A and B are shown apart, each in its own frame.
Chain A
């Protein structure tokens, strides 16, 4: 199986943000999410530095980061095939570590090293076809899991529900909406704008409208307002990291939405793809602080007066006690149940 074939197979099944990076020969194409919703532009990455910069500058994020890392590892393998296996592996290891270090909160290093691990044995034997085949299987499984998440998310939603979501789950909410449609349920959405990068306004609202769903945009300060007014039946958010005790890190703003949902008895679901067994709890998750300019600059224009400072924590931590359940590709599981049955934590969702 070649990687290009997997992308071809899933191209129409997956919404654009669910397949935000793909590879064709010696180029990795990365959907530049900062240009949406006004332009659909794919960056062309010819090497790992291009890909690293795309992740670091948030041109791609969430699921797009994962696919960019996967594709870039294959790209670097293709470029170095003529060398000795030892040299190739040394190069791939360096690439994995570089890409894995682009942003600290999501476990990018684990993804990069996992891909390296998949390639290691076949590369030693100069079986490059097998190395790519293994990565292609990984991507196929990644897409199948996304569909699994959507199926289980749809199970907790009822006909007529309005779902509040924050930031963007890389095509996830579109897949949930499609699955609800398939099950004969009509659901609508409320999306927070998600300052400063506005992923909710630019990405979630865009992809849901393009797929024909009803969605309303609210400023971030209105989450509790719409919840208290009874306009929200369930909250679904993604997660960048899940600690061993079930605390999760996700886009800044998630925590205060979780508290509002908890206060008004609205179920709060988190889409979890894996558990970081090495991180005991939310307090130990490293939270990325980005440059303050990213808060007060918009396309080169300053939004606030000169003498005003800002801070930009890009993520926050939501303790497990405020989470109703995790949505995984295997089904719905409460953080409490998962903690009780330690074996569940061994599963890479």
Chain B
């Protein structure tokens, strides 16, 4: 792994992922989906790279995604777009990622005050955040608390000033002026961004609270998403638990989505790499 802040390593025959529970090796689409669902792979740029790599390793990948997640799922969409070009896309990403995503450093460089990040696990972006000396607010990200357990810890270990907040506090801290900037990452399709769940809530809050928001993404030119109605909602038993403890009525039903589709109009600037 090239960076201490990287949660993903693309190897010849596998993808290594750092999760809150330790390092996991991914060789098949089934393992990849499991990590996506459990937020083991947090940021969409990592998801994108991991999926591109798995497409080259697991010939059944696309069929598996169609069967298990359906045609409208983000992973299926991306896999369809990448299916013949995964190897080419990976080369393109590796060639241009460093240069493009360092731009976030220029945005952070002259900033005073605090930044909130959500769905960010790209090592280049995290490095720029550490260098910036901004105070970094991180929503814990229920149900798995992966941002509190993994991203916040990693950034703090590397010297960043990190404050974890619950997922419902971001709007208020923007309104109050404690948060001056928002950074998120995802995959953009036309005028939409697929980001981790919560991105839409925070993007709207930033828009109305006049807090500039920035997105970092791989831009897939042909998009299939039209709006959030296409995002599959499912029952998730994990929503009923917090750190292994039942937090609600045992008969409670739940709704959960693994990602949001967010109009790019909420962002002041979108930094992206064109891929396919």
Most-contacted residue by chain B among A38, A215, A218, A255 (CB, 10 A) = A255
Interface residues of B, CB < 8 Å — how many? 58
Report the minimum CB–CB distance from B15 to chain A (whole Å).
24
> What's the dominant secondary structure at chain A's contact region?
mixed
* A253, B252: Cβ atoms closer than 8 Å: no
Which of B139, B169, B202, B249 lies in contact with A313, CB distance below 8 A?
B169
Contact between chains at B256 and A256 (CB < 8 Å):
no
Are B254 and A216 in contact, CB atoms less than 8 angstroms apart?
A: yes
Once bound together, how far apart are the Cα atoms of A166 and B166, in whole Å?
14
Contact of B164 among A216, A228, A230, A296 (CB under 8 A): A296
In chain A between 183 and 203, which residues have their CB closer than 8 angstroms to a CB of chain B? Answer: 190, 192-196, 198, 201-202
- Contact present for A298 and B245 (CB under 8 Å): yes
Contacts A255-B172, A259-B208 known; A223 to B253 CB distance under 8 Å?
no
Is A349 engaged at the interface, CB distance under 8 Å to the other chain?
no
Q: Is A37 an interface residue (CB 8 A)?
A: yes
For the side of the interface on A, what is the size category?
Answer: 35 or more
By the criterion CB–CB under 8 Å, are A220 and B142 in contact?
yes
In the complex, A228 Cα to B197 Cα: how many Å? 12
Of residues 171 through 187 on chain B, the ones whose CB sits less than 8 Å from some CB of chain A are: 171-173, 175-176
Q: Assess whether A127 is interfacial by the CB under 8 Å rule.
A: no
A252 & B229 in contact (Cβ 8 Å cutoff): no
Contacts A195-B142, A222-B256 hold; do A310 and B201 have CB atoms under 8 A apart? no
Chain B 50-87, CB-CB to A under 8 Å as 1, else 0, gives: 00000000000000000000000000000000000000
- Taking the complex as formed, is A117 at the interface, i.e. its CB lies under 8 A from any CB of chain B? no
Rounded to whole angstroms, the CA-CA distance of A202 and B250 in the bound complex is 10
* B252 interface neighbour in A201, A231, A252, A299, Cβ under 8 Å: A201
Asked whether A222 lies within 8 Å of B255 as measured between CB atoms, the reply is yes
Q: Separation in Å of the B260 CB from the closest CB of chain A?
A: 5
Determine how close the nearest CB of chain A comes to the CB of B178; give it in whole angstroms. 9
Whether A217 lies near B254 (C-beta < 8 A) is yes
> A125 near B: Cβ within 8 Å?
no
Min C-beta distance of A327 to chain B, whole Å: 22
**Given known contacts A37-B248, A259-B208, is B153 in contact with A224 (CB within 8 Å)?**
no
Q: Which of A38, A262, A304 contacts B208 (CB 8 A)?
A: A262
Instruction: Give every chain B residue within 8 A of A206 (Cβ-Cβ).
Output: 248-249
Which of A201, A224, A303, A310 is B260 in contact with, Cβ under 8 Å? Answer: A224
Given contacts A304-B140, A305-B149, A307-B156, contact A316 B175 (CB under 8 A): yes
Query: Is the Cβ of B166 less than 8 Å from the Cβ of A308?
Result: no
Partner of A221, one of B148, B167, B207: B167
**Nearest B residue to A260, CB-CB:** B204
Q: Given A259-B205, A260-B201, are A196 and B166 neighbors across the interface (CB < 8 Å)?
A: yes
Q: Is B239 an interface residue (CB 8 A)?
A: yes
Q: Return the contact of B168 from the options A190, A253, A307 (Cβ within 8 A).
A: A253
Whether B167 lies near A195 (C-beta < 8 A) is: yes
Main secondary structure of the interface of B (DSSP, over half): mixed
Q: A253-B169, A305-B153, A311-B163 are in contact. Are A229 and B228 (CB under 8 A)?
A: yes
**Residues of B with C-beta under 8 A to A260:** 200-201, 204
Q: Which residues of B contact A216 (CB under 8 A)?
A: 252-255
Tell whether, in the assembled complex, residue A192 and residue B168 are in contact, meaning their CB atoms are under 8 Å apart.
Answer: yes
Residues of the A chain whose Cβ atoms lie less than 8 Å from the Cβ of B163: 309-311
Interface residues of A in 64-115 (CB under 8 A from B): none
A210 proximity list for chain B (CB < 8 A): 249
* From B168, B172, B198, residue with most partner A Cβ within 10 Å: B168
Q: Verify if A226 is at the interface (C-beta below 8 Å from B).
A: yes
In the complex, A53 has a CB within 8 A of chain B: no
- Within 8 Å of chain A (Cβ to Cβ): is B165? yes
Report whether A194 and B239 are in contact in the complex, using a CB–CB cutoff of 8 Å. Answer: no
A317 at interface (Cβ–Cβ under 8 A)? yes
Complex CA–CA separation, A217 to B141 (angstroms): 16
Say yes or no: A218-B148 contact (C-beta < 8 A), given A316-B171, A316-B175: no
Answer whether A222 and B149 are a contact pair too, CB < 8 Å, given A192-B168, A310-B165, A313-B169: no
B5 within 8 A of A: no
CB distance from A313 to the nearest CB of B (A): 6
A219 within 8 A of B: yes
Contact between B248 and A205 (Cβ–Cβ < 8 Å)? yes
Q: Inside 8 A of B197's CB, which chain A residues have their CB?
A: 219, 221-222, 225
Q: Is A205 within 8 A of B249, CB to CB? A: yes
Q: Does B107 lie at the interface of the complex (its beta carbon under 8 Å from any beta carbon of A)?
A: no
Q: Does B37 contact A (CB under 8 A)?
A: no
Contact B243 A303 (CB under 8 A): yes
C-alpha spacing A190/B239, complex, angstroms: 13
| Interchain CB contact under 8 A, B145 and A303 | yes
Q: Which residue of A lies closest to B157 (CB)?
A: A307
Task: Report if A220-B167 is in contact (Cβ < 8 Å); known contacts: A229-B229, A298-B245, A317-B172.
Answer: yes
A209 within 8 A of B: yes
Taking A221-B197, A296-B164 as contacts, is the C-beta distance between A255 and B253 under 8 angstroms? no
Q: With A201-B247, A217-B254, A219-B167 known to touch, is A256 a contact of B148 (CB < 8 Å)?
A: no
Given the interface contacts A219-B143, A222-B255, A256-B205, does A303 sit within 8 Å of B148 by beta carbon? yes
Q: Can you pick out 7 interface pairs between chain A and chain B where the beta carbons lie within 8 Å of each other?
A: A194-B168, A201-B240, A222-B201, A225-B200, A263-B204, A263-B208, A303-B145
Task: Please provide the 3 A-B residue pairs with the shortest distance between their CB atoms, ordered closest to farther.
Answer: A253-B168, A256-B171, A221-B198
Q: A201-B240, A304-B140, A313-B173 are in contact. List 6 more A-B contacts (CB 8 A).
A: A256-B172, A296-B148, A305-B149, A305-B153, A307-B156, A308-B153
